[in-house]
Chain A
Amino acid sequence: MVLVFPPIIREAIIFSSLLTLLSIGLTLGYMTTRVPNFAHGSFATIGVYVSLVAVRLVNVSPYLFLPVAFLVSGFVALLLYKAILKPLMRRGASTILLMVATIAFDMLLIASLNIFADYLSRAHRITSRYFSLKAADIRIEGIPLVFYVAPIVAAALILTFYILLTKTKFGIAMRATIENPALAGVVGINIDLVYTVSWILAGGLAGIAGLLMSLWFVGNPDLGTLILVSIFSASIVGGLLNIYGAILGGFLVGFAEVIGTSRLASLLGVWIIPYRPVIPLLIMVIALLTIPGGLSSIRWSSIAKLWRR
């Protein structure tokens, strides 16, 4: 049976799933190195271009290139951690300077992506700016496959994370390192390995999100920087220090953006649609002022107790 969803809900589900993947990655990076990664949006853009190469150059279904997107973005994230953040942290750089370093890396990434886009259009005569790959998607009874794949991939990865963090030795080491790096080091956990794996995962997830994004959104080298505010907002709502919080935040911000914009557009007129980026900012500000620790900091059990009284 094929469930029938109104298009707006479909859009909201796809956007929220992808946003969740991205905010999990940002949160993971922040939990380990304590720096919000301003280049995280561009990691997703890499996935978008992997998809473009798959469809236009290799002529295969973009879904086959999911592992490639994971590897390429994961490698770039590894590069950021190993070549830039780690040496700076060893020198005791402040959080502000680490943030500036991720911005610097983002500039290099954006330049590289644009140069690559220029190369594609010059050498291979491919439309590499403002392109749509919607046609490359498989359709099941008229509904694009990405509508199913995006939430399924998100759910599968969340489940994998859950198993990794609670059932495996490495996951427990990872949690210990996040809680208290110094103590974890004393116990004999290889902190650097944990950080390395976290950054590869963070980048890889962004790459996967980016590849799926190319099947729904218009691709351009600045796509990642445009959704950066949404990623920040989703992660902050989630609390920045909790992966499950990032999932909640991703869905909250994703749904609020898509549904909120369409509601407002039908209420006030279509002119409001371009102001969509204001919604994640508002959510972010409200979250910071009311629950600065994010959704994951709320003690649901104590609220339930209050309720029962």
Chain B
Amino acid sequence: MVLPQEALILLTSILAWFGLYLIVNLSLNLEFGYTGIPNFGKLLVVAAGAYVAGYLPGRIMFNLANVDPSLDYIADNAVIVTQINNFLNQNPHISLSLLFLTLIVAAGIGAGLGFIASYPAIRLREEYLAMTLLAMAEVIRVIGYNYKPLIGGTLGVQVPDTLAFVPGELRFTIMSLVILAIAGFIFLYVERLVRSPLGRVLRAVRDSEAAAETLGKDIVRIRTKILVVSSAIGAVGGAMHALYTSGVISLTYDRVSWTFWPWVMVLMGGMANNVGVMLGTLIFVALRQLITFYKGVLEPILPFNVIWLDYILLGSTLIIILMYRPEGVLPEKATRTLDFRKLWARLNGRRSP
């Protein structure tokens, strides 16, 4: 049987990527699906989160792990991270604290960037906003490429393995489960948020800004709040990605992977429907992982590089969705916030005494 080993690797990598993209897509859904902010700069916070993961844990552990202080973190990165991993190997508690500290800092930086991004977002019309956010994301990419001390530019840095104490063969499985757990937690949080009174206000802002304003809702505050929250979530996604792959290379963070693909997944699943987004994420993550996994098989058949198949898949599915099912596989449903049966009974009771 060839199945077990290979299938397991494929399955864990699909699960991990599903979790990672689910985190990013939920935050995009919160912005675009529920609030109507066309965030074409999702890359901004995802990359920021990843940069935090590339920068922070290594620097913190540098002193704790008694690394030779004459070494340069970027130039001697491989040596340093190996030493740190050996240290983390012995200290599960420190490892886990490091993991959560990184996520918290990433969320904080993401929230800050979301606050900055909300400055144009509360003032501009959709198309201007889309262009501005895209340009902002482009700037963080340029910084990652060129500012070597941050994450080593185009060469990248290794990220200390916060699960170094887990036996080697289990490491990826456990990491996938950690990612899934975080994604699940964020899913529940976003679901609760959109079912709360605030969630109803979000849809009101999206559907008719003027009407919401007339009813006394402070649109500026609501949009700022949502961008801060969703950007924090997006940055956690980016940081998790870096911790999962135990490395940050600025080339990985481009607008196709972290802005346009999330858009496809959200639109495919159904905007303003978190279960739909989950479905869309699963479909495309599985498809893309299968393409990567069977690259060796596909390469001789295709007359071109397999990477472009990814682009073609992205472009053609988007067009097909927009043309034939713009509401997605699972369209938005009326949210049941109050207990409908109770409400119904009460209404009936009042009418027929």
Q: Which residues of chain A have a CB within 8 Å of any CB of chain B? A: 30, 34-36, 38, 84, 87-88, 91, 93-97, 99-101, 103-108, 110-111, 114-115, 118-119, 228-229, 232-233, 236, 240, 271, 274-275, 277-278, 280-281, 284-285, 288-289, 292
Contact = CB atoms under 8 A, between A and B. Distances in A.
A108 B315 contact: yes
Q: Which of A88, A94, A97, A271 has the most chain B CB atoms closer than 10 A to its own CB?
A: A97
Given A107-B260, A284-B132, A277 B139 contact: yes
Contacts of A34: 127
B73 to A, nearest CB: 19
Contact of A118 (B120, B136, B304, B322): B304
A99 B315 contact: no
Given A93-B326, A118-B305, A284-B131, A104 B318 contact: yes
A288 B128 CA distance: 8
A46 to B, nearest CB: 16
Contacts of A93: 322, 326
A111 B318 CA distance: 14
B318 A100 contact: yes
Closest 9 CB pairs of A and B: A104-B318, A107-B315, A108-B315, A111-B311, A274-B146, A111-B308, A115-B304, A281-B135, A232-B131
B323 A87 contact: yes
A284 B322 contact: no
A229 B311 CA distance: 21
Band of interface residues on B = 35 or more
Nearest to B302: A115
B16 to A, nearest CB: 25
A288 B132 contact: yes
Contact of A84 (B304, B305, B319): B319
A1 to B, nearest CB: 41
A35 B38 CA distance: 13
A35 B126 CA distance: 10
B124 interface: yes
Contact of B136 (A100, A228, A281): A281
B326 A288 contact: no
Interface in B96-147: 120, 123-124, 126-128, 130-132, 134-136, 138-139, 142-143, 145-146
Contacts of A101: 318-319, 322
B70 interface: no
B135 A105 contact: no
Contact of B38 (A96, A232, A281): A96
B21 interface: no
A229 B318 contact: no
6 contacts: A100-B318, A103-B318, A104-B315, A107-B315, A111-B309, A280-B135
Given A87-B323, A97-B322, A103 B124 contact: no
B139 A107 contact: no
B312 interface: yes
B134 A229 contact: yes
Interface in B236-276: 256, 260, 263, 267
B34 interface: no
Interface of B: 32, 36, 38, 40, 120, 123-124, 126-128, 130-132, 134-136, 138-139, 142-143, 145-146, 256, 260, 263, 267, 303-305, 307-309, 311-312, 314-316, 318-319, 322-323, 326
A97 B311 CA distance: 18
Contacts of B308: 111, 114-115
Contacts of B126: 94-96, 99
Contacts of B127: 30, 34-36, 95, 99
B322 A288 contact: no
Contact of B312 (A108, A274, A281): A108
Contacts of B128: 236, 240, 288, 292
B256 A107 contact: yes
A178 to B, nearest CB: 16
A274 B286 CA distance: 36
Given A103-B263, A108-B316, A118-B304, 6 more contacts: A36-B130, A84-B319, A111-B309, A228-B134, A232-B131, A232-B135
A38 B142 CA distance: 19
A256 to B, nearest CB: 14
Nearest to A92: B326
A96 B260 contact: no
B132 to A, nearest CB: 6
Contact of B314 (A104, A236, A274, A284): A104
A30 B125 CA distance: 14
Contact of A278 (B40, B139, B304, B319): B139
B131 A36 contact: yes
A103 B145 contact: no
A167 B272 CA distance: 49
Contacts of A118: 303-305
A158 to B, nearest CB: 23
A274 B142 contact: yes
Given A100-B263, A274-B145, A236 B131 contact: yes
A133 to B, nearest CB: 23
Nearest to B143: A275
A240 B131 CA distance: 12
A118 B127 CA distance: 34
Contacts of B260: 103, 107
A275 to B, nearest CB: 6
A111 B319 CA distance: 15
A114 B302 CA distance: 14
A94 B38 CA distance: 11
